Structure 1
Amino acid sequence: MSDLTAITGARIFDGHDWHDDAALLVEFGHVSGIVSLDAVPQRSESFHLDGGMLVPGFIDLQVNGGGGVLFNNAPTVESIRTICAAHAQFGTTALLPTLITDTVEINVAAIAAGKAAADQGVPGFIGLHLEGPHLSLARKGTHDPALIRPMDDADLARLIAARKDLPNLLITVAPETVNPSQIKALTDAGIVVSIGHSDAGIDMASAAFAAGASMATHLFNAMSQLGNREPGVVGAVLHHPNVHAGLIADGIHVHPAAIKVALASKSGPGRLFLVTDAMSQTGTDIETLTLNGRTITRADGALRLADGTLAGADLDMIDAVNFMHETIGLPLEEAIRMASLYPAEAMGIEAEFGHLRPAAMASFVHLSNDRKMRATWIRGAEVWRA
């Protein structure tokens, strides 16, 4: 059996350009090239698809759960494996299991689970996202206010140590509870710092970005809004060109008009990218779930606490892509980039993730011509098929 596989029979989008009548070459879990059909190496093993398109695998940087598992409720390597498998059926080939505000003990357990997942090579796992507990009470959202607190020296040391055990670490903090010197120490250690759940004004948010924070968590949600005299966190994100921002594109968390305004306002190199903020319901018919002892109800395309507060999203990545294409009107290529290339750039992993050019991880999705999920590959291995 050859180590080289040539996948044919579908249009190929490499993250930048389309290729027709071409083959995707996969070798040892990486892309070795895209070639015309008459240039396929004879030694390759052929895998033929029946039409549709191959696109880069989706990357989700905010995933609270899936497959019936909520990471906060069970911070184990088995939970990570279940969550990754649940999201693979919706095209996600790389994700950050996300732990929202919880106790120190739960945070320690989550970090240990992430290290085990990395050591075991769990398909789809690329690191952790710790969203809290160092947030603003004024913008707590669904986070338990009893557990929100400022960052202390022990927290800082624990996060810096955790980064050494994880392939990637993203943390969401509010500049009200994490100061610029702490942010600098975190980013100097290789941690990606995102501003979120914050009521900061533009000056405080800008100081956080100047200290090294490079991202914002679920733009518009749980943050100070854009005003004419005080632009808030939203204004700071759109104003600073190097800042990336996640976006929950379900038509519930952010109005389509606001999404269009943000897209028009945001200059690069920082980009808006898609996240699901999914909870344990993804891939299941679960109608209720529990977080920190509170019941969350799934209804009408949303997840809410009893008081109506949104608690994560009832969203998967292929639906987010289709929403951006169909409702927002983005070209399909750009909607796909928002789910693949742009989150990879936000994490600084675009050398291997988010595209299908040579040396990239061979993680990709087969879609039908009407953008329905057909199959998912992670690192050259098929992990799900419709």
Structure 2
Amino acid sequence: MSDRFALTGARIFDGDDWHEDHALVVRDGLVEAILPTGAMPSDIGAVDMGGGMLAPGFVDIQVNGGGGVMLNDHPDAASIETICRAHAPFGTTALLVTLITDTPEITAAAVAAGEEATSRRVPGFLGLHLEGPHLSIARKGAHDPALIRPMLDADQAALIAARQKLPVLLTTVAPESVDPQRVSALTEAGVIVSLGHSDSGYAVATTFAAAGASVVTHLFNAMSQIGNREPGLAGAAIDIGAFFAGLIADGIHVDPATIRIALSAKQGPGKIVLVTDAMATIGTDMTAFTLNGRTIYRKEGSLRLADGTLAGADLDMISAVRYVHRVIGLDLSEVLRMASLYPAQAIGQSHRLGRFANGTAADIVALSDGLDISSVWIGGKKVFGVNASS
């Protein structure tokens, strides 16, 4: 017997357009249809949402931790499950759990954990984002400089092997530590390559885009900035249409005026996508934690090392959505795309995530008109809200 139901009584955003007085029909974990309420078959069990809106679940391609756990400290499937569960109440229904620069042994353990989480079908787990260790020390941010190193043949082979074990694998590299031929080999093997933590200029970024790099990690942070004679990696991310670019929209990492400028100037088809760069604090009241043996302090909405360096973000996706809509002033439809459709496109998953159409995943977030989250479904199973599964 099929698991079939319909959600009614809310406006529906399908990733492109809004539907009034329609029902979202779900069958066996997939979207079946969006139908006028009056055309819905009588044998479908209907759930009246009582107003608000339904939107595709958020897709976050940079999540370092949550629920008190960092993947670096606990590279196992249980931690991946904890992180995914911690982000679900904030509307994130698919995410790339991110490993910050670490040792080869920890990296291998994280890949094994991702493989196990995939086999266990952990709700919300989409794959891994390996942020480093092939970065630039000059733009290291909170990454441990002792662990940053150039990519060698064995590293390239390990990434290609890891991709065969995971649904999605994204890696952040800096041109200072990786040559274009390696990027081409990685992308040909299905690895998504993002440029970040780099002091490289526009011309180098252009070369790496031609080699297959298609994402830029946390726009404006830990990269060369836009100058009058050198656009830098930040300028390349905006001007080169091949690049999608992650954005940490918390009011701390990037000034709101800078965000507005970037949104106005971004060349496509690549888009700016919302990321949280979230750490262990999400879903907890913890005030500090450790990364690579260093303490990170949570204070006034930010996470910082003792010297004041930003270390990830104390941010969830619905807060980023609210910020870009209310502070930046972007139309809600476009903000929702930045949180779901565009990140799905960035990692080649828009055929099943980021939109509602026949056969897409029934990953759903129910929002009030004030952008509070009332319920969340992953694969048609309610994971947050009244009567959510445990």
Q: TM-score range by the shorter chain?
A: over 0.9
8 Å CA contact 2:226, 2:232 repeated in 1: yes
CA distance in 2, matches of 1:42, 1:313: 47
Match of 2:362 in 1: 362
Instruction: Give the gaps of 5 or more residues in structure 1.
Output: none
Match of 1:107 in 2: 107
Deviations 1:263-308 (A, max 9, x none): 1110211000000000000000010010011100000110000000
Match of 1:270 in 2: 270
Deviations 1:203-250 (A, max 9, x none): 111111110000000000000001111111011111211210000000
CA distance in 2, matches of 1:335, 1:297: 30
- The aligned runs of 1:22-101 (5 Å cut-off) are 22-101=22-101
Deviations 1:21-72 (A, max 9, x none): 1110001111011001111122322222121111110000000000000110
Task: Return structure 1 stretches of 4+ with deviation > 2 angstroms.
Answer: none
Match of 1:151 in 2: 151
- Residue 20 of structure 2 aligns to which amino acid in structure 1? D
CA distance in 2, matches of 1:96, 1:7: 28
Match of 1:134 in 2: 134
Instruction: Give the gaps of 5 or more residues in structure 2.
Output: none
Match of 1:287 in 2: 287
Deviations 1:333-378 (A, max 9, x none): 1111100000001111100000112211000101111110101000
What SS is found at the alignment partner of 2:306? Answer: coil
CA distance in 2, matches of 1:169, 1:112: 13
* 1:258 and 2:258 correspond: yes
Measured after TM superposition, the shift of residue 2 of structure 1 is 4.9
8 Å CA contact 2:3, 2:29 repeated in 1: no
- The aligned runs of 1:198-347 (5 Å cut-off) are 198-347=198-347
8 Å CA contact 1:2, 1:44 repeated in 2: no
What SS is found at the alignment partner of 1:89? Answer: helix
Aligned-residue sequence identity (percent) comes to 60
What SS is found at the alignment partner of 1:258? Answer: helix
8 Å CA contact 1:225, 1:235 repeated in 2: yes
What SS is found at the alignment partner of 1:126? Answer: strand
What SS is found at the alignment partner of 1:218? Answer: coil
Q: How many residues align?
A: 386
- Residue 331 of structure 2 aligns to which amino acid in structure 1? P
TM-score by length of 2: 0.98
Measured after TM superposition, the shift of residue 330 of structure 1 is 0.4
What SS is found at the alignment partner of 1:86? Answer: helix
Measured after TM superposition, the shift of residue 150 of structure 1 is 0.2
- The aligned runs of 1:1-12 (5 Å cut-off) are 2-12=2-12
What SS is found at the alignment partner of 2:125? Answer: coil
- Residue 146 of structure 2 aligns to which amino acid in structure 1? A
Match of 1:124 in 2: 124
TM-score by length of 1: 0.99
8 Å CA contact 2:2, 2:28 repeated in 1: no
